[in-house]
Amino acid sequence: MTTPVKTWDAARYQSRHGYVSAYGESLVSLLDPKPGERILDLGCGSGQLATKIAESGANVIGLDHSPEMIAEARRNFPELTFDVADAANFQLSERVDAVFSNAALHWVRNQDAMLAGVYRALKPGGRFVAEMGGHGNIAAIRVALAGVLRQWGLDPYTMDNNFFPSDTQYHARLESAGFIVDEIALIPRPTKLPESGMRGWLETFRRGLLAQLPAERREQAIEETVALLKPVLHTDVGGWTADYVRLRFHARKAA
């Protein structure tokens, strides 16, 4: 799938949003990688969690749809293997013991193709451990941004590429794809944003969407969205918080 604009600024993502991989470290614990295992990090971003997995002695392959993210991952961790690939259409030379994914699967439009690909990639008994945006994720941010962009004829709900399912919905989807679901849960996770605040979040995670506006209107859209969200997601003491809800699961392919 191609996009009309460069969607990710990998350096900005890494410098401003390190909390994404920091929260994912507990997901690595749930994965419980073992020495010698072959593990795929699907949607690896700039590679921070791939290297955490590799510290266990596992052999890690990182895939991401963004060439910018893969280039950053290769610069960060040249000893690991990273390649550009679409999560809904990837091929591996040999099957893996586990597929891991953090904060990436909600960007995948064709969920059924992605799940089928993961299932094919796993050895019998292999596990699928992931965390993604869940039902209610960034609800306030989406409503505010939609209100701003609609005045210029844009509908962000059909353009932002995000899929935020409930736990029951995704449980059924995993089972339909052939997985045995060991655990799955929605986790509310209000997340403190760094100094760049809501402006920085919008500039990173809605960069492609804002680029659909004429350049002279982008700053206005950001300012209006930030103003709408300030009474809801900002305090003078705590600063900005993003209204995250995550969906975490541990599933497996039958032995």
Question: Quick check: pTM over 0.85?
Answer: yes
Per-residue model confidence (pLDDT) at position 134: 98
Domains of the chain: 10-137+162-192+244-252 (3.40.50.150)
Per-residue model confidence (pLDDT) at position 9: 53
Comparing CA positions, the residue from 75, 74, 22, 30 lying closest to residue 49 is 22
Per-residue model confidence (pLDDT) at position 5: 39
Residues 57-91: pLDDT tens digits?
999 999 999 999 999 999 999 999 999 999 999 99
Polymer length of the chain: 255
Comparing CA positions, the residue from 48, 42, 44 lying closest to residue 22 is 48
- Using CB atoms within 10 Å of the CB of residue 239, give its burial: 0 to 12 exposed, 13 to 18 middle, 19+ buried: middle
Each residue's pLDDT, cut to its tens digit, for the chain (255 residues) gives 233 334 545 455 454 445 556 666 899 999 999 999 999 999 999 999 999 999 999 999 999 999 999 999 999 999 999 999 999 999 999 999 999 999 999 999 999 999 999 999 999 999 999 999 999 999 999 999 999 999 988 887 777 678 999 999 999 999 999 999 999 999 999 999 998 999 999 998 898 889 989 988 999 999 999 999 999 999 999 999 999 999 999 999 999
The rounded distance, in Å, linking the Cα atoms of 90 and 184 is 25
Contact 68, 46 (CB under 8 A): no
